[in-house]
Amino acid sequence: MTSGFTDNGLTQANQINSFPSMLADKFKLVGGGDFNLPLVPQGNGSGFLYLKALGVDACGNPSPDLQTQTGVEGWETNISAQGPFNNIGVPNISLLTAPLPPLIILPSYGYLTRMTTDLSHSYVDLISQTTADIDPTFFTLWLGGNDVLLYAATGGGYNPDPCGDINVLIANPTEQGAFETTYTQILDILLANNPNRQGAIATIPNITALPFFTTVGIKAQNPSDCNGALLDIWVTDSDDNVRIAQEGEFIPLSGGANIGVPDAEGRPHGLHPDNPLCKGEILKVEQVAIANAALDGYNTFIRNQAAERDLALVDMAAFMDDVKNNGLTVDGIGVNADFLTGGAFGLDGVHPTDRGYAIIANEFIKSINAKYGATLPMVDVTIYKGIAFP
C-alpha cells in the first residue's frame, strides 16, 4: 500500500497518488524537500485490472466484467541510477521475505530489483542503503499485511493452484518471532545515526475488513428462483471432507468467481456436493482463527514498538474496521468497504482506490499532528477518484 498499488497493479498515476506522496506534498508546506519516486513507465505501468462493463445477472445483481490491462514492455527495467528514492514501498513484500535476496521472492522481483543497485541485495538492504543515502528527517513504516494476506487469500496457502494438494509453506502466516526480528531490524535502521528522526508506523488491517473476503458470502442466490431461499455452498475442508460452508468462514473474490461454473457433467461448482469449492477457494473457520491470531500478535508488537520508540502510531486496523462496520463521510463524500460501490477499495478488493489512499493519508496526518504537535493540513479527498466505471 505504500507504493500506491491498486487494481492489482501499479502505474505512474498510482505512484503519484500514493499516501506517502500526499504526505510529502503537505510536508513541503513546512519546509519539506522533493520526493523522488521510482516511477514506472507512462501508460499502463505494470498492468492492472479495469472494469470493462458492469452488467447484471439473471436476478438483477451487479455483474462486473473485470479485464486485465497488459503492462508496458520493460516496466521492470532497473532505474536505480535515478535514485535514491523517497518511496521504496514494494508490493508483495513481507517481513518474512524482506531479508531475502530478490531472486528468491519472485512476486516482488520486478518491483524490488528496479530500485536496487545490486541484485543480491534484499529489501532490508535497500532500506539500509536508502536511509544512509537520504538521511531522512521523517519516515513511515507500514509492513506486515503480506505476512498473513497470502495465507488467507489462498484458503490456507494453496497457491498457485487452489484445487491442488500442495500447501505452500511460505504462504503460511509469518511466525511471530521472525516477524518481530525483521521489524526490529528495520526500525533500528530507520532510527540509526539521527536522534532527531521522527516517524509514523501503522498497524495491519484485519482481513475481515477487506472486500476481497467479505463480498461473496457463504450462501448463493438461485439464478432460477431469484426470490427463493438461498442455496448452500459446498466446500472441501482441510481434511478433504465435503460439507456446507459455515458461519465464520470466508469465500474470497477469487473463489466466488468460480461458483456456479459447471463441470463436464454439468454440476455447478460449489452448488453441488460432487463439485464443491476446492480447499484453496475458502478460508475455513480454523484458518480464520490462525490469521486473526497472527494479526493480533503483529499489531500488539507494532503498538508496543510505537510506544517504546516514541513514534506516531496510525491504528489502521481499528480504522479499517470502522470503515467496514460504519462507513464514513469525508469532505461530503460517503465511503464504505463495499466492493465496487464503496469508494474505498479498488478492483482487487484489497488495495485502496486513490480516494482510499487520500483518506489513509489523512489518518497518518491526524496521528502525526497529535504525536508531534504539528499542524499539517488535511488532504482534500474530493480531488481523488474511486473506481472508474465504464
Encode 239-284 in three state secondary structure: CCCEEECCCCCECCHHHHCCCCCECCCCCECCCCCCCCECHHHCEC
State pLDDT tens for residues 204-219: 999 999 999 999 999 9
Whole-angstrom Cα distance, residue 128 to residue 116?
A: 11
State pLDDT tens for residues 124-136: 999 999 999 999 9
Whole-angstrom Cα distance, residue 215 to residue 301?
A: 30
> Over 90: is that where the pLDDT of 157 sits?
no
Q: How confident is the model at residue 61 (pLDDT cuts 50, 70, 90)?
A: confident
Strand intervals (E) in 101-146 = 138-141
Q: How confident is the model at residue 106 (pLDDT cuts 50, 70, 90)?
A: low
Q: How confident is the model at residue 119 (pLDDT cuts 50, 70, 90)?
A: confident
Identify the weakest region by mean pLDDT among 164-168, 259-263, 313-317, 352-356: 164-168
State pLDDT tens for residues 304-331: 999 999 999 999 999 999 999 999 999 9
> Over 60: is that where the pLDDT of 350 sits?
yes
pTM for the model stands at 0.95
> Over 90: is that where the pLDDT of 388 sits?
no
At residue 238, the pLDDT reads 86
At residue 170, the pLDDT reads 66
Instruction: Indicate the burial class of 209 (C-beta count within 10 angstroms; 0-12, 13-18, 19 or more).
Output: buried
Whole-angstrom Cα distance, residue 342 to residue 328?
A: 10
> Over 70: is that where the pLDDT of 103 sits?
no
State pLDDT tens for residues 226-250: 988 999 999 999 889 999 999 999 9
At residue 352, the pLDDT reads 97
Cα-based torsion angle of the residue sequence 131, 134, 136, 139 in order, rounded to the nearest 10 degrees: -50
Given a contact cutoff of 8 angstroms between Cβ atoms, the answer to whether 280 and 164 are in contact is yes
At residue 109, the pLDDT reads 62
Identify the weakest region by mean pLDDT among 13-22, 70-79, 139-148, 262-271: 70-79
How much is the average pLDDT of 26-31?
93
At residue 164, the pLDDT reads 84
Q: Where are the domains of the chain?
A: 12-214+288-383
At residue 166, the pLDDT reads 77
At residue 108, the pLDDT reads 54
Domain 12-214+288-383 bears CATH identifier 3.40.50.1110: yes
End-to-end Cα spacing for the chain: 25
How much is the average pLDDT of 260-271?
95
CA geometry: angle 231, 236, 242, nearest 5 deg: 70
> Over 70: is that where the pLDDT of 102 sits?
yes
> How confident is the prediction for the chain on average, in pLDDT?
93
